[in-house]
Amino acid sequence: MARGLLVSYAGYPYTPSSLTPDNGLASLAGALLTAGHQVNIIDYGTVAMMRRLFPPQLAQQLRPLAAQLLGSGQPPDPEVLAQLQQLSVQLEDHQRRELAVIGNELVAEVRRLQPDFVGFKLWNGDGFTGTVALAKRLHTEFPSLHIYAGGPQASWFREVIYWRTNIFEALAYGEGEQIIRDLAEHATGQRQLSSIPGIICPDNGQVHQVPRAEGLDLDQLPPPVYDEEIYPAMAGDQKIKIIVLDDSRGCPYSCGFCTHPRESGHRLRTASPERLVDMMEHIKQQYGVSAFRFSGSSTPGDLMRQVAEEVLARGLEVRYTCFGHFASADPDHFDLMARSGLYAIFFGIESGCPDILDKAVRKGIDLATVKDTVAAAKQAGIFTVTSMIVPLPFDTPQTIQQSLEFVCEIEPDAVPVQFPGLLPGTPWMDEPEKYAFEVDRQEALRVGLDYKIKLLFPPAYWDPLPYKINGMTFQEFTALTADFTRRLEERGILTGVPDDNALIAACAGLSPRQLRDQSRLWCLTGDAESMARMISQANRQIIPGDAPTK
């Protein structure tokens, strides 16, 4: 039997979504416990961590500047920009000092628990650099401790991580529920790393990648564990208690920008509807939680219909959100899904121009279908989110205007807008010249590994990413993103609210716009107290007063 410690440090929480429970860690814990091992989870994505990483004196100085920055919708004037830059440096210095304190606390926790191994979840930005620093601190204090890593950054960047650090004995890029059990055996001397499918490890100065195993049967996964004695961050109102469920893994599509096939393969695997509703019922009975988000990137419409039927047949009172794909969503099922508790659905459109969709996105959707599907979802009372990427490869002012008019015509409830990103293993990164990108691939991978979002500034003021699209620099194309967002808002279209935030708002008794605007200000100014009050209000709806709160 091994004892494992699972750790997630994602840095300062930028959105309410950063404060929801980590289903990946909970699922790994369930896998370890089922195999007879012991496990503890340290998740630093809490209100307390928000409070620690943003000192009150800086928060006080930032409030009037933040109100001006968010309220005007215009670039900050030079004086405000200079003040923000000064405060940003002070904030980064404070967070570095606090990270050292967190490292000391983690050392004390390892001494107390005496784990055989520590598994870190890797994130981007500060979540990467901070995690590496914590891992190095443990290695210095406990040279014989086995230290592994996994998570989204490991799945995307893989061997590139070893360009930056050799602190991790192995990286997991396959599905973690099996790998974590294999690593537990390695930590207790029962297994060689080279025999574990889905890991990457140093080997005589080289990096060895073991092919991953066949995809797991999602119906056979052990239940995730959110017990407070194992996962202390679940106590009280440190987390917004919306639980993510794995409805599907793998993606049969090949969208130009998407990492999901790299993460879990091209073969779509789904859990059965009975299994998914069993999990909802189990979590509600065990923890009192009645709000969920399905994790699949292209959840089949027929699966969601069957889930809805099963929820209604059992009389289960829940609210949930999911992703959808226009190729499989059936508008005739939306009324049924809404009655079962489906509150919000997220669709990726990315462009309102058919030529751009075909050439740049490769999404395989028809805009007439998009119109009918969005209209039916809204008619059923489902909060309908449709994402856009601006600019896309080959976009022109005319095609961007076409996208704007299309979005305004279909009037979704919210539209997250983002600039084009290059991530490892995507068609855009693998064949950049085919998609109008100019990029030094090695430099992009190096920079992307720990690229930092500068909380106090609009994207145009972040460090420039090392690529161009359609001949435009980072500052030029992010200016188009911001302009598109502004024009949508001027036309009455809400931006910046994904499906999970819409559900958080509903649980907290806020409109989606109120949650977006208020939480932006809270995160920007370190207002952990206001965030805590919102979370407490949301959790009172997610977990009714007479429900169990284990």
Q: Residue 61 belongs to a domain with what CATH number?
A: 3.40.50.2300
CB 543 within 8 A of CB 236: no
- How many domains would you assign to the chain? 2
Structure tokens at 543: 């977990």
Q: Which residues constitute the domain of residue 534?
A: 240-542
What's CA 497's distance to the chain center, in Å?
A: 14
User: Do 522 and 410 lie in a common domain?
Assistant: yes
* Model confidence pLDDT, tens digit, residues 212-254: 988 899 999 999 999 999 999 999 999 999 999 999 998 887 7
User: Do 468 and 339 lie in a common domain?
Assistant: yes
The side-by-side arrangement of strands in the sheet containing 319-324 is: 243-245, 291-294, 319-324, 342-350, 383-389, 417-418
Element (H or E) spanning 32, and its range? helix 23-34
User: Do 357 and 498 lie in a common domain?
Assistant: yes
User: Do 349 and 205 lie in a common domain?
Assistant: no
Q: How far apart are CA 536 and CA 79, in angstroms?
A: 38
R_g over Cα of the chain: 23
Structure tokens at 370: 């998009």
Count Cβ atoms below 10 Å from residue 423 Cβ, excluding itself: 18
Residue 111 falls within a domain, yes or no?
yes
Burial of 397 (C-beta count, 10 Å sphere; 0-12/13-18/19+): exposed
Question: Helices 528-542 and 512-525 meet at what angle, rounded to 10?
Answer: 140
Structure tokens at 337: 């899904």
User: Do 192 and 248 lie in a common domain?
Assistant: no
CB 494 within 8 A of CB 40: no
Structure tokens at 131: 């995690």
User: Do 202 and 347 lie in a common domain?
Assistant: no
User: Do 176 and 319 lie in a common domain?
Assistant: no
Provide the strand spans (E) within 9-108: 38-43
Given a cut of 70, the residues of the chain with pLDDT beneath it are 70-75, 545-550
Residue 153 falls within a domain, yes or no?
yes
Cβ contacts of residue 82 below 8 Å, gap of 6+? Answer: none
Quick check: helix, strand or coil at residue 415? strand
Q: What is the DSSP letter of 357?
A: I
Of residues 462, 516, 499, 306, the one with CA closest to residue 387 = 499
User: Do 162 and 263 lie in a common domain?
Assistant: no
